[in-house]
Chains A and B, each alone.
Chain A
Amino acid sequence: MPTTESRAVYDTDQDYDAGEEYTRFIGRKIFFIFSLIILLMLLIAGAATLGPIDYSNTEVYSAILQKFFPDSFNESERTMRVVWDVRLTRILFSILAGMGLGISGAVMQVVLKNPLASPYTLGIASAAGFGAAIAIIAGIGFFGNYLVAGNAFIFALISSFVIIGIAKHKGATPEIMILTGIAIMYLFSALTIFIEYFADPDAVKEVVFWMVGSLARASWDNFWVLFIVLAICIPLLVWKSWDFNVMGAGDETAKSLGVNVDRIRTISMVISSLIVASIVAFTGTIGFIGLVAPHITRMIIGGDNRFVLVGSALLGGLLLASADIVAHYIVPGVIIPIGVMTAFMGVPLFFFLIMRRKREYW
C-alpha cells in the first residue's frame, strides 16, 4: 500500500536530529583544517628538496634532522647552511606571511561586512609603499638598518590609525571605514607617484621592485619578528571569532546579544593592520592572498568564523608558499615576482570557484 511507504518516509523525517547533523558539519570543518596542516607539511618537505644546488632527498632531510639531533647525522656545514638558511627560511617565512595576510583579510571582511575588504582596498599597502618609497628615494626614515622596512611599517600603521581615528569620531561603521580606506589608498598612491616623478630613475626602479613584492628578504631575523607578531595576534583574533559571527548578523543584533560592536571592530582592525604592516614591511606589496584565501575557505566550509579564521590563515600560507615555488620554476632561470605570481595563480582559481558555486553566496 503506498500510504505505509510514505508514512515510513515521514517517520525517518521525525528521527532527524539537527544536533547530530551539526556535529557532523563541525567534523567536516575540522577535517578541512587538518588537511591544510598536512598539505603545509608536505609542501615544506617537498620545497626543501628544491633548489639550484642538487642535493639528494636524503641529504636534505638529514640536514634538517641534524639541527635537532646533531650527533646522529653528519652533513657538511655548507649543506646545513643551504637547507636551513636559504631554503627553509624562505619556505617558512612565506608560509607565515601568507598566514598573516589570509587571517587579516578574513577579519577585515567580516568586521567591515564587505567581501572586497582586504589590506589593499583599505590603503594599508599603498601607505606602506609610500613609506618605502621615501626611504629608498630620499633616505629619510626610521630605524637605521631596517630603514625601508621600518618606514613601510610606520606608514602602514599611520594609515590604519587614520581610518580608526575617523571611525572614532563618526562611528565605526563599515561604510566610513571603507570610504576612508579608499581615500587613503588614493592619497598615498598619488604621493608615491609624486616623489617618483622627481626622483633619480635608479631609485624609482628600486621602488617599483619593492612595490611588486618579494620574498627575497626572508631571513631568520625577519622570520622571528613575524613569528612573534603572529603568535600574539592570531590567538587574539581567533578568541574573538564568536563575536565576529554575531557581528555578521548586523550591528543591532550583535549589540542585543551583548557584543560591544564598535570596540571589537576597532580592536580587530588594529590587530589585523599590525599583522599586515609587519608583513608588508619585509615583503613589499603582495596582493590577492588576503582577498582569496578567506573567500575560498568560506566556499568550502561555510561562514563560521571559528573555523574561517584558522582556515584562511593556513590556506593563505599554503597559497603564498606554493606561489613562490611556482614563481621560481615555471620559467627556467627567471624568478617571477611573487606579487605577480599570486595574482596569476589566484585569479583563475577564484574565477573557477565563482563559476561553479551553487549558492547565491558562498
Chain B
Amino acid sequence: MKLKVNNVEFSYSSTPILKDIIMELVPSEMLGIVGPNGAGKSTLIKCIDTILKPRHGTILLDEEEILKMSKIKVAQKLGYVPQTTARVFPTTVFDTVLMGRRPHIGWRSNKVDVKKVVNVLRLMEIEDLAMREFNELSGGQQQKVFIARALAQEPDVLLLDEPTSNLDIQHQLEVMEIIRNLVETRSISAIMAVHDLNLASRYTDRVVIMKKGMIVDAGTPSNVLTPENIKSVYNVEAEVINSSGKNPYIIPVRSIRRNR
C-alpha cells in the first residue's frame, strides 16, 4: 500500500492549519511527524484518515483518490489510533477492540471476528483485560487497546496520533517497539505524530518536521534532526550526538527566547 499526499491544504474557518503538504509513504515504512504544538501534526493525520476534509489537494491510496472511496473501504485500509479519550458510557476492552471489525461486518459479529479479536488481544498481551471496563484502565493500557482496535481493522496503514503522550518511559518504549515490530513483520506501514524527538529518531525510518502547517524538512532521522532544524522549528538549542549514525540522540539544551 502506497500513500501519497499531494498539495494538501486545510483550514478551520479562516485560519489556515495546513499549507501545501506533500509527502509519500511506501509499504513497510514507519514515518514520524514531529514539530511543536500547533504545527498541524494531528490535523494532517486526521486529513489522511478523512476525519477532516482538506480544502485543496489530493490524498492517494495506491493511486486511488481517498475522498472518492467509500468510508467503509477507507476504514478497511487505514487504522486510526487516537489520543486517549474517555467514553461517556462504559464498554469492555473486548467490545472496544471488536469495534475495529466494524468495517468488515454487518449487524452481527461472528466467530471469525471474535477469534480475530482474541488474536489481536494476545498479540498486544492484553487478553487478561478483555472483560475489564475500558475507562478503568491505565493510560498505557488504554493506548494498547486503541492499537489493538486499529489492528483488528486489518489495515494497510496505521495512523497514530501521539501514541506515547501520557505514558511513562517503560510504556513509551513498549508501545514504540510493538509498532516497529508490526511494521517489520506484517508489511503494514505507519504514520505517527510524535513529540519526543529521540523516540522518532530511534524508531522511525523517515521523519517529517513541521512548523506552522508546513513541512520544513523530510528525510532520515539523521538528516532531519539536526541542530539547525531544531533551532528553526522549536526555537531550541540542541546538541545532537552520533549525528552521522542511523539514530542520532538529541539533547535539548535551552530555549532560545525570541527578541521581539
Contact = CB atoms under 8 A, between A and B. Distances in A.
A13 B129 CA distance: 12
Interface stretch (A61-69, A251-259, A270-278): A251-259
Nearest to A24: B131
B176 interface: no
Q: Name, among A16, A21, A25, A255, the residue most crowded by chain B CB atoms within 10 Å (CB to CB).
A: A255
A21 B131 contact: yes
Given A245-B91, A303-B90, A359-B90, A256 B51 contact: yes
B220 interface: no
Interface in B90-105: 90-92, 94-96, 99-100, 102-103, 105
Q: Name, among A245, A255, A258, A360, the residue most crowded by chain B CB atoms within 10 Å (CB to CB).
A: A258
A23 B131 CA distance: 11
B117 interface: yes
Interface string B117-136: 11001000001101101011
A115 B118 contact: no
Nearest to B122: A18
Contact of A256 (B78, B87, B130, B133): B78
Given A245-B99, A246-B102, A258-B103, A361 B131 contact: no
A257 B100 contact: yes
Interface in A9-43: 13, 16-19, 21-23, 25
B95 A255 contact: no
B12 interface: no
Q: Name, among B74, B89, B96, the residue most crowded by chain A CB atoms within 10 Å (CB to CB).
A: B89
Nearest to A17: B118
Nearest to A250: B85
A355 interface: no
Nearest to A305: B89
B222 interface: no
Contacts of B72: 258
Q: Name, among B71, B76, B100, the residue most crowded by chain A CB atoms within 10 Å (CB to CB).
A: B71
Nearest to B46: A252
B188 interface: no
A252 B96 contact: no
A249 interface: yes
Given A19-B115, A110-B89, A258 B131 contact: no
Contacts of B79: 256
A302 B90 contact: yes
Given A259-B71, A359-B136, A22 B107 contact: no
A18 B106 CA distance: 22
A257 B107 contact: no
Contacts of A361: 88-90, 135
Contact of B90 (A21, A241, A255, A298): A298
Given A19-B114, A303-B95, A113 B102 contact: no
B50 A113 contact: no
A260 B71 CA distance: 8
Given A13-B128, A250-B82, A257-B102, A19 B51 contact: no
Interface of B: 46, 49-51, 70-76, 78-80, 82, 85, 87-92, 94-96, 99-100, 102-103, 105-107, 114-115, 117-118, 121, 127-128, 130-131, 133, 135-136, 153, 159
29 contacts: A16-B127, A17-B118, A18-B117, A18-B118, A18-B127, A18-B130, A22-B114, A22-B130, A25-B94, A110-B89, A249-B87, A249-B99, A250-B85, A252-B51, A252-B80, A256-B78, A256-B79, A256-B159, A257-B99, A259-B71, A259-B102, A298-B89, A302-B91, A303-B89, A303-B90, A303-B95, A306-B107, A359-B90, A361-B89
